[in-house]
Structure formats: C-alpha cells, structure tokens
C-alpha cells in the first residue's frame, strides 16, 4: 500500500525474485531502471526529464502497477488521458530490464499533437517541457474527488480547492505545493495575502557570483521585495509595500528550477546562459526557513533528499541535456546521456550544468518489480 498525502494506492506484491539477484547477472546497461533513451533529433531535453521522472519511485510504482488506469480522466478534453498512457508505457519499458535503450517515439508524437513546439527537431527547454508535462499528467488523472466543508476552510485551503476544482490526482499529491504571497503596507502595516499553486520553484542565481549556494538562491526568492504604488485598502491611497513569498503547502517531491537563461539588453536581448557553479545539498535540504507559520506547525517533514538532476551543457545556440539520477534499487548515482547509461561518482553530481533539481521528503522506497 502506497500512501501519498493521505491518499492510499494499492501496489502489487513483490515477486519472489529480488532485484539484487538480477543486478549480479545483468550488464549495467540492461539493469532495471537503467535503460537509455534514443535521441530522436534534439530530444535530449525530453529524455533528461523522462529519466528524472522514471526515478521518482512513487510515480514509477503507480505506472508499473497499472493503478493509474483506475484514475484516468476520459472527460479531460485537453489530452483525454493519452499523455499518462504513453508516459506509463515508456516507464514500463525503462524498467523491464530487457533493453539497453528504447525510443520514445509514441510519447513524442502525442506531446507534439498537443503542443506544437515539441513536434519538430529544434532543441527545447527541459523546464518548459516538464512544466507542461506535469500539467497534462495532472489533468489526465484528475479524478480523485475531495469533499470538504467550505465554511470551515482556511484561506489557503479555499484557494487549493479552487485550483483543483474539488478533483485531485496522484501528480498533484506528489509534485504540487502552494505559495503564499503577502503584501504589507510600509505605512500602516496592513497585510493582504493571496495563494497560488506551483509544481516547481524557479530561482534566480546571484549576480556577479561564479560560485554560489542553493541557500543563497532560496534566500533571494523568499526575502521579499519593495514595490511601489500599491493600492493600500486601509490607507485608501497608493503606498510602498513589501511583497514576500512563503510556502504554505510543501509538496512531497520538490522540484527546483534554476534560471540560467536571461535576455541580455546590451545584445539585442539575445538570451545568455549563466554558468554559475551552484553548490546544492544531496541530503538534508532544510525548507523550514521558507514556509508560512501555518505550515511550520504542521507535522509533515520539511527536510529533503536529492534524487535527480536535469543538466544543461553549452549555450542557447548549441546545448545538450543529460540526467543524473540516484537508483532506488542500486542506491547509487547514474548518468543518463540519451541512450548511454553509466555509473556516476557521488562527487560529480554537483556541477555548473545543474538546471533542475528533484528533491523528495518521502521515505526511501525500493521498487519490487
């Protein structure tokens, strides 16, 4: 039984043969979960994200057990359940241990049907692909009805209900959190709060810093900023105010996007890549300093462990994506470079190529397939 955010999913019983036996007789490139993905023409951005999702253990169990079939939303007019079906089919191929590499042609065709930028052979942004894919997967599985008494809800709970339309999904329970945005008048100290859901955090890198820490990026994001001309409802006039963000609901899987690309005004706004070397923790990422008071009182864990990284090498004109993932079965890190999968020393996980970080607060879970 898998339980995520209070929702239980029945998983298949483990087979009599354990993975440790297979790992001793199968070549590395044919280990379960160690299957590469062919590059179908600048699809490394897609391959990188799919390998990171494939190593999200709870999602993989959900797909391989076929439990997702019980929750497909056929009334979803956007993607009609097609995206989750293709993602699940691909994850099964990545985990059956029969192939050195497979091709994601069917999934690529489906996502191209629903989003034109993914049809051709141009390089795309892995963060944009991930954000759109998360939205599609949530819509495909948004069938879990949630009954709540609206009159007893807090403001954050009402905002969450409005976002979900009283229907949730496994994707929502795993990847989505909620942000509280508070605006405070500097004159009368009147506060106004709004809430918004997120599937990943997009953090700026510190300017003029070749080497920086993830904590610096977090501090910049959550420190607050001064805004001008806010219509204060108490002062009845425009005032300066402080706008501050706090996390009101932490997701079990926290995805952190680093804003490496920016428009350079001195060069006709051409996009430039920031090559900062970012130091980020592999273990014990502490999120307690960045959460709202209500969330801080909740009993949910607030410490995260890294399990996957989507990397970008090169520039906007000629870049390449890979993934670093920690195998739940081997307990070791591996590099996924399209069709090639190799072992990775833990000391090499942190690099200047890191673009999207995948953290989990869920307890370790070994795939029994």
The residues pairing with 324 across neighbouring beta strands, listed in sequence order, are 309, 335
Q: How far apart are the first and last CA of the chain?
A: 15
Active-site position among 63, 257, 320, 325: 320
Q: Which of 3, 44, 82, 228 is catalytic?
A: 44
Structure-derived torsion over alpha carbons of residues 53, 58, 59, 62, reported in degrees to the nearest 10: 150
Select from 127, 367, 358 the least CA-distant residue to 253. 358
Give me the helix-helix angle, 105-114 and 82-95, nearest 10°.
Answer: 160
The structure tokens 């007893």 sit at 152
Q: What is the chain's Cα-based Rg?
A: 21
Which DSSP string corresponds to 117-161? GGTSSS---HHHHHHHHHHHHHHHH--EE----GGG--HHHHHHH
Contact 246, 184 (CB under 8 A): no
44 tagged catalytic: yes
Catalytic residue numbers read: 44, 320
């Amino acid at each position: 039984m898998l339980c995520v955010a209070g929702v239980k999913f029945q998983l298949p019983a483990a087979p009599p043969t354990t993975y440790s036996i297979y790992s001793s007789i199968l070549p590395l490139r044919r280990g379960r979960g160690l299957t590469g993905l062919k590059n179908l023409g600048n699809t490394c951005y897609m391959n990188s994200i799919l390998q990171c999702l494939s190593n999200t253990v709870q999602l993989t169990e959900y797909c391989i057990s076929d439990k997702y079939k019980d929750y497909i939303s056929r009334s979803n007019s956007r993607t009609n359940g097609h995206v989750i079906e293709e993602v699940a089919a691909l994850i099964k191929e990545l985990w059956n241990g029969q192939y050195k590499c497979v091709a994601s042609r069917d999934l690529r065709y489906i996502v191209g049907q629903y989003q034109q930028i993914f049809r051709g052979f141009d390089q795309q942004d892995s963060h944009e692909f991930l954000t759109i894919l998360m939205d599609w997967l949530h819509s495909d599985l948004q069938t879990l009805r949630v009954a709540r008494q609206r009159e007893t809800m807090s403001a954050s709970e009402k905002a969450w209900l409005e976002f979900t339309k009283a229907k949730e999904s496994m994707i929502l329970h795993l990847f989505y959190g909620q942000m509280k945005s508070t605006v405070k008048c500097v004159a009368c100290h009147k506060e106004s709060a709004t809430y918004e859901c997120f599937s990943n955090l997009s953090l700026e890198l510190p300017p003029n810093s070749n080497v920086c820490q993830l904590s610096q990026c977090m501090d910049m994001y959550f420190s607050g900023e001064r805004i001008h001309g806010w219509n204060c409802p108490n002062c009845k006039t425009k005032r300066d105010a402080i706008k501050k963000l706090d996390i009101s609901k932490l997701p079990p899987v926290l995805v952190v996007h680093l804003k490496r690309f920016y428009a350079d005004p001195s060069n006709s706004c051409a996009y430039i890549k920031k090559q900062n070397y970012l130091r980020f923790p592999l273990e014990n990422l502490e999120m307690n300093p960045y959460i709202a008071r209500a969330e801080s009182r909740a009993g949910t864990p607030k410490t995260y462990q890294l399990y996957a990284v989507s990397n970008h090498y090169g520039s906007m004109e000629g870049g390449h994506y890979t993934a670093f993932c920690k195998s739940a079965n081997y307990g070791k890190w591996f590099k996924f470079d399209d069709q090639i999968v190799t072992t990775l020393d833990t000391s090499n996980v942190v690099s200047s190529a890191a673009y999207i970080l995948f953290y989990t607060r869920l307890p370790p879970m070994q795939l029994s397939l």
